[in-house]
Chains A and B, each alone.
Chain A
């Protein structure tokens, strides 16, 4: 049987409120990271609020259709990012979101490795038919990483994002089960 949670560089681990809130507090001042990982206006929260957020999520337990992971380095178990998969069980489609908050691990294949684990999980454990994702036009690093993991560009919604007074497109990508199996 394949190891679902261990890749070449990273492993997917559970979200621990203590570890995750510490990491989030560390990454949050990085507005570029926020602008790369979300459509919303960048915002900053108090430590208290961040802790409460993760504690509440842990208390509520796993939500059906929502799979959240902490991305950790394989060697040291250092938390470097997050990965979340939202599943539509009726149509067996899903939407994945990923972010590497620790800049030391940008552009070195860590995110791609985590995404490959996610696809293995989606297709061989959740038995999904496809995995989808969206990204911003101004994030070419992510585009390359997703292409490496096997995603194909399926279109772009025009100018649906404004940053610094400039309009940008969003890119939408997908990978089908049969493409992943090949």
Chain B
């Protein structure tokens, strides 16, 4: 049966199978995220900045700053990712540095606690993020920067058809050695062809 315009816009943008994209909770989320910042493994996968433990109070201020930035710059869409079963916070996802004239933006996502990793949540989050980027923001392409040692992220991006476009040789230093920084890109066309296949 052919889809009508009413069916098309009814496709949920924020609901995955086990997870959903949601807003931030200024009271509860900083407490959870503070725990993640004490996990050096997570921080080194999610951040290029040096890992540093942050208090809930500091994170709360950062949330306020982020929301102000969203309002002023109009080039940033932050989401929290939550488990549908109990609405608990499981990660962060972000579309940032949107260049509207060129239709380009950067994606970032992370699953915060070790218990929630390796369950396919990242995949579900990325599927929603891409749909939002291409079918709602109408971007032409998206870009993701990944550390050479971040095997999980590289596998995830490749699974969704991202192409390794740039290798910034020895662009970062961690654990006393240099690592490449990889840039992956996915075009709207490529995403659309896959989604139909």
Known pairs A157-B185, A162-B102; A93 contacts B172 (CB<8 A): yes
What residues on B are CB-neighbors of A172 within 8 Å?
A: 166, 168, 183
Say yes or no: B104 contacts A160, CB within 8 Å: yes
* Sample of 11 more A-B contacts, CB < 8 Å, known A93-B172, A129-B178: A90-B49, A91-B48, A91-B172, A130-B170, A155-B167, A157-B166, A160-B140, A161-B104, A162-B101, A167-B140, A172-B168
Q: Is the interface of B mostly helix, strand, loop or mixed?
A: strand
- Distance A40 CA – B172 CA, assembled complex (angstroms): 27
Any chain B CB within 8 A of the CB of A22? no
What residues on A are CB-neighbors of B173 within 8 Å?
A: 90-92, 129
Say yes or no: B49 contacts A155, CB within 8 Å: no
Residues of B within 8 A of A (CB): 48-50, 99, 101-104, 140-141, 143, 163-173, 178, 183, 185, 187
Smallest Cβ distance from A35 to chain B, in angstroms? Answer: 12
What residues on A are CB-neighbors of B99 within 8 Å?
A: 39-40, 160
Considering only residues 133-182 of chain A, those with a C-beta below 8 Å from chain B are: 154-162, 167, 172, 174, 176
- Distance A167 CA – B172 CA, assembled complex (angstroms): 30
Say yes or no: A157 contacts B183, CB within 8 Å: yes
- Distance A130 CA – B180 CA, assembled complex (angstroms): 11
- Distance A66 CA – B101 CA, assembled complex (angstroms): 26
Which of B167, B170, B185 contacts A160, CB < 8 Å? B185
Any chain B CB within 8 A of the CB of A132? yes
Any chain B CB within 8 A of the CB of A45? no
Smallest Cβ distance from B127 to chain A, in angstroms? Answer: 22
Q: Count chain B CB atoms within 10 A of each CB in A41, A93, A167 and give the residue with the most.
A: A93
How many pairs of A and B residues are in contact by the CB < 8 Å rule? 73
- Distance A166 CA – B48 CA, assembled complex (angstroms): 33
Known pairs A39-B102, A160-B104; A154 contacts B143 (CB<8 A): no
What residues on A are CB-neighbors of B172 within 8 Å?
A: 91, 93
What residue of chain A has the Cβ atom nearest to residue B190's Cβ?
Answer: A158
Smallest Cβ distance from B176 to chain A, in angstroms? Answer: 13
What residues on B are CB-neighbors of A162 within 8 Å?
A: 101-103, 140
Which 9 residue pairs of A and B lie closest in terms of their CB atoms, listed nearest first?
A155-B166, A91-B172, A172-B166, A160-B104, A41-B101, A155-B165, A157-B165, A93-B171, A91-B173
Smallest Cβ distance from A134 to chain B, in angstroms? Answer: 9
Say yes or no: B50 contacts A90, CB within 8 Å: yes
Say yes or no: A174 contacts B140, CB within 8 Å: no
Which of A41, A132, A156 contacts B165, CB < 8 Å? A156
A sample of 20 cross-chain residue pairs with beta-carbon separation below 8 angstroms, ordered by A number, consists of A39-B102, A91-B171, A91-B173, A93-B168, A132-B168, A132-B171, A154-B167, A154-B168, A154-B169, A155-B164, A156-B165, A156-B166, A157-B143, A159-B187, A160-B140, A160-B185, A161-B102, A161-B104, A162-B101, A174-B168
